[in-house]
């Protein structure tokens, strides 16, 4: 097996990595202070094609496969995680449903504007009563003539405060349980009856905004039904499954950045008359961090390749996400330890990564849910 990325993907990855390490990281303190991403950074991101990673070229996107997208996500992971989170929420789960399930009219109506970043996308499935238990969704969509009327509340929806388009999962036939849910394309900024709650105040990932989305007799054109009626939940699981590979790649990028920072600090910081890199305790932590980076990278590359080959990745996507996000948590802790008191200070990127990474073990399926999926698939097989 050849584990080297093709040359064009390596080149693109290097360009994105340079962008986040120079342009985005230079504005990191501003993003932390304002909880906003500077508009000029988003314009540059659009010029680099970051909003159109998964959108086919015929609709103005870059048209990357899973391997290419994840290579970019790893590069994004090395920079400010709020910036990377906003981009990936749009380019991954926010976009992939429309690309996979949309009809030609839907694609031509939305995808070109999504590819340029003019229309930011999000994915709305989580509710106050249904997080890991997504089958307990209570948002309803009732067919009335040539419209569906939505009522309910979604929460913790990434990109909701700035979204021009949301893919919303709602119950269309309550008698079928999880088999009676459908997906809808909703334009929250222009649809009466749709309102966005206050922006969530999160521990980390500043600039990646999330909020509640409230539907009160919101009339959605029947033409905005995405994919087959009553099969939205099944399709949503597929969207989330593929999105987990991207999270594994972003986690790998974050680990690489933390390792690079830790190596540089260990070589420069002196204690007892010599660099702390000469102490075996520090060397062991650096070695363990490198092991986490390399194993996580191999995993996401394998699973992304499987996605591109059309294979069932339900189990392996969960393996990749669980391994990489749990490993990142340990790497972030070691990075703070290597940095010492400096790693606990707000001026240190290590402190920011330590806070930001915690969310990755929760969203798009908690670590516990990943283990449930893995075990269920093993037992079924």
Catalytic residues: 364
DSSP 128: T
C-beta neighbour count of 320 within 10 angstroms:
30
Written in H, E and C, the secondary structure of 285-302 is: HHHHHHHHHHHHHHHHHH
C-alpha to C-alpha distance for 270 and 248, rounded to whole angstroms: 34
Give the DSSP letter of residue 200: P
Helix-then-strand count for the chain, H and E: 12, 10
What's the CA gap between 184 and 231, in Å, rounded? Answer: 11
Q: Please state, as a whole number, how many other Cβ atoms lie within 10 Å of the Cβ of residue 293.
A: 23
Q: How far apart are CA 172 and CA 227, in angstroms?
A: 13
Distance between CA atoms of residues 52 and 342, nearest Å: 38
| d(C-alpha 250, C-alpha 216), whole Å | 36
For residues 44 and 34, what is the distance between their CA atoms, to the nearest angstrom?
Answer: 19
**Residues with Cβ within 8 Å of residue 151, at least 6 apart in sequence:** 139, 140, 142, 215, 216, 217, 218
3-class state of residue 138 by DSSP? coil
3-state helix, strand, coil in the chain (%, to 5): 60, 15, 25
Tokens coding 238: 């597929």
**Per-residue tokens: 121:** 């996308």
């Amino acid at each position: 097996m050849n584990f080297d990325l093709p040359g064009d993907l390596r080149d693109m990855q290097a360009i994105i990595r340079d962008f986040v390490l120079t342009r985005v990281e230079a504005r990191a303190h501003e993003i932390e202070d304002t909880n906003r991403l500077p508009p000029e950074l988003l314009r540059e991101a659009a010029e680099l094609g970051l909003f159109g990673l998964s959108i086919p070229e015929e609709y103005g996107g870059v048209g990357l496969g899973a391997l290419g997208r994840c290579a970019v996500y790893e590069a994004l992971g090395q920079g400010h995680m709020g910036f990377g989170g906003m981009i990936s929420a749009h380019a991954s789960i926010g976009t992939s449903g429309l690309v996979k399930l949309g009809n030609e009219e839907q694609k031509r109506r939305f995808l070109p504007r999504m590819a340029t970043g003019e229309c930011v996308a999000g994915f709305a499935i989580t509710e106050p009563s249904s997080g890991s238990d997504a089958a307990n969704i209570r948002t309803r969509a009732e067919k009335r003539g040539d419209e569906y009327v939505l009522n309910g509340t979604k929460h913790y929806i990434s990109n909701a405060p700035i979204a021009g388009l949301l893919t919303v999962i709602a119950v269309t036939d309550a008698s079928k349980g999880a088999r009676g849910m459908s997906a809808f394309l909703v334009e929250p900024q222009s649809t009466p009856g749709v309102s966005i709650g206050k922006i969530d105040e999160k521990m980390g990932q500043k600039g990646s905004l999330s909020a509640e989305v409230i539907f009160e007799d919101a009339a959605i054109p029947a033409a905005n039904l995405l994919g087959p009626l009553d099969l939205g939940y099944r399709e949503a699981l597929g969207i989330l499954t593929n999105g987990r590979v991207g999270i594994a790649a972003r986690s790998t990028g974050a680990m690489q950045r933390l390792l690079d920072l830790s190596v540089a600090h260990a070589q420069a910081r002196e204690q007892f008359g010599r660099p702390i890199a000469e102490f075996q305790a520090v060397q062991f932590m650096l070695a363990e961090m490198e092991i986490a980076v390399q194993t996580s990278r191999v995993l996401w590359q394998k699973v992304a390749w499987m996605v591109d080959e059309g294979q069932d990745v339900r189990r392996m996507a969960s393996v990749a996400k669980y391994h990489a996000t749990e490993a990142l948590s340990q790497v972030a802790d070691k990075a703070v330890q290597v940095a010492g008191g400096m790693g606990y200070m707000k001026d240190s990127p290590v402190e920011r990564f330590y806070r930001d990474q915690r969310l990755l073990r929760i969203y798009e399926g908690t670590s516990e849910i990943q283990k449930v999926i893995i075990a269920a698939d093993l037992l079924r097989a």
